[in-house]
Amino acid sequence: MTNEIDEPRHPFLNGLSKHRGAPPTVVVIFGASGDLTARKLVPAIFNLGLDNLLPGEFHLIGYGRKPIADAVFREIMDEAIGEHSRRPLNKEVWDRVRQNMTYHSGGYDDAEAFASLAEKIDQIEAGLGRDVQRLFYVSTPPSVFEPIINNLGRSGMAKAHVGTKLASKVIIEKPFGRDLGSARALNAAINEVFEEPQVYRIDHYLGKETVQDLLVQRFGNSIFEPLWNREHVDCVQITVAESLGVGTRGGYYDTSGALRDMIQNHTMQLVALTAMEPPVSLDPEAIRDEKVKVLKAIQPLELKTDGGDVVRGRYTGGVVDGAPVESYMEAEGIPADSTTETYAALRLSINNWRWQGVPFYIRSGKRMARRASEIAIQFKRPPGILFSEGDKFDVAQNTMVIRIQPDEGVTLVMNSKIPGLETRTQPVKMHFRYATTFGSNTPEAYERLILDAMIGDSTLFIRGDETEASWKLITPILEHWQACGQNGLAEYAAGSWGPSASVRLLSEKGHQWRRSG
């Protein structure tokens, strides 16, 4: 009979995973000395271990150009967990990961460094006496995506255990291309080395709880799905707003802009999940098929210097959170002749049976009034028969607001009678907050996404044809803006909700932006 006090204090320490689908795995992080590894990836791996969700046989190899001793790399990651993890360091659990954590230095175009990396993983397999899954996380500047992919192919690591559940996988961070041509070229380079089921194009927004909950809200509640169409919905507004400026990333941001940085990936993913048809199952491919269909149904945008379906802007000096802030052009690294937008708003028309005639308004910008990411489904007004006379009836449009960040949750805007002897109405809000119902310490997006990649669930990752469908819509806008130069680039004060020109996008259809947050 087992003595209870002899049992390990944490199941992961006994080599057991609560998640039975996670096979023995070696994770290789390319760009291991970078910011994302310290802030997100390694803290996510630690928290998976704390939740007993790592496979019992788990190894982590950091790969980077800079030579770093294994012991030093471990110390750097110790500090990263202490500073960035959502939960404090549990030394006993972390030591289990830490003892199997090493660093491998080499160039991303260095075939010999990749060959020695392959030998290191082969030695891990030999030591374990069994095959292991190789999971390659490409967390580097996009300029070295292709050299990494090519060397994974030349070294044979990309084809390890192909045809089995232990087939190698590759996770690729955004940006996935700069336009349609470069996205197609990158897809072609990847598909020469990896089969599509091995590829996991990551967008961390899809790992957020409320984004995942969107499918449950739509398809798990019979009161919503019957209304989710052109008969009942007046418009859809999607906002991804940041109160921060470009900070010290001005040089990088000026080569990107709001359209590439936020609209093409995060925001278009929210559009796809909001507008897609019900999938035939929860199978990853069934869901991704429907996302691609709706992206392909979006009509080409009308592009004009003044007017049309697109507005761009750039923030000037202003006040954010009570403090004065500088303009975009004053930020470090911004060239004097910059034409880069820090705000973009689009009016989308989806040409299918469900959404014909329902405008989708999307916007994203920096130095906005507050940080807020949300999806607002605005329903049509009731017929003005009973509650339309005089000013005593304040009847708002029913709205379902799915808040992604901060204060994740769902709000329903309804109309109610004000208590009293006469009939007066006013809008009221019904709130559901994740923190209130489930507690505030919810898993980070990268925890869910890394786990899903390990177990082979691609639901929350972007397929190759999906990213090309998004770029097909966005690329003509980029080309139009490049041709226009400064013409049509509006200004907005930092701390506002964007340029006044964006109001026109909605007013032309009888709508107005709702106050987010």
45/149 same-domain check: yes
CATH of the domain at 130: 3.40.50.720
Contact 470, 362 (CB under 8 A): no
Q: How far is CA 125 from CA 56, 73, 163, 420, in A?
A: 14, 22, 18, 75
Q: Write out pLDDT tens, residues 39-98.
A: 999 999 999 999 999 998 999 999 999 999 999 999 999 999 999 999 999 999 999 999
270/169 same-domain check: no
162/260 same-domain check: no
Tell me which residue range forms the domain holding 51: 10-173
Residue position matching structure tokens 């990411």: 373
133/267 same-domain check: no
CATH of the domain at 479: 3.30.360.10
Structural domain includes residue 470:
yes
Q: Give the predicted TM-score (pTM) of the model.
A: 0.90
Q: Write out pLDDT tens, residues 134-178.
A: 999 999 999 999 999 999 999 999 999 998 999 999 999 988 999
Residue position matching structure tokens 């992080």: 29
Give me the catalytic one of 59, 104, 266, 511: 266
**pLDDT band, residue 417 (cuts 50/70/90):** confident
Collapsing DSSP to helix, strand or coil, 104 comes out as: strand
Task: Report residue 22 as tokens.
Answer: 């996670």
Structural domain includes residue 460:
no
422/371 same-domain check: yes
89/150 same-domain check: yes
Cα separation, 213 vs 210, in Å, equals 5
Task: Report residue 491 as tokens.
Answer: 């200004």
- The phi-psi region of residue 433 (left if phi > 0; otherwise alpha if psi is between -120 and 50; otherwise beta) is beta
Q: Taking 80 as the threshold, does the pLDDT of residue 435 lie above it?
A: no
150/245 same-domain check: no
355/314 same-domain check: yes
Contact 296, 501 (CB under 8 A): no
Structural domain includes residue 194:
no
169/212 same-domain check: no
pLDDT at 2: 38
Structural domain includes residue 447:
no
**Among candidate residues 91, 29, 93, the one with its CA nearest the CA of residue 64:** 29
Length of the chain: 517
Structural domain includes residue 188:
no
165/59 same-domain check: yes
232/295 same-domain check: yes
Q: Write out pLDDT tens, residues 457-497.
A: 999 999 999 999 999 999 999 999 999 999 999 999 999 99
Total structural domains within the chain: 2
Structural domain includes residue 21:
yes
Specify whether 232 is catalytic: no
Structural domain includes residue 199:
no
When the pLDDT of each residue in the chain is averaged and rounded to a whole number, the result is 90
384/282 same-domain check: yes
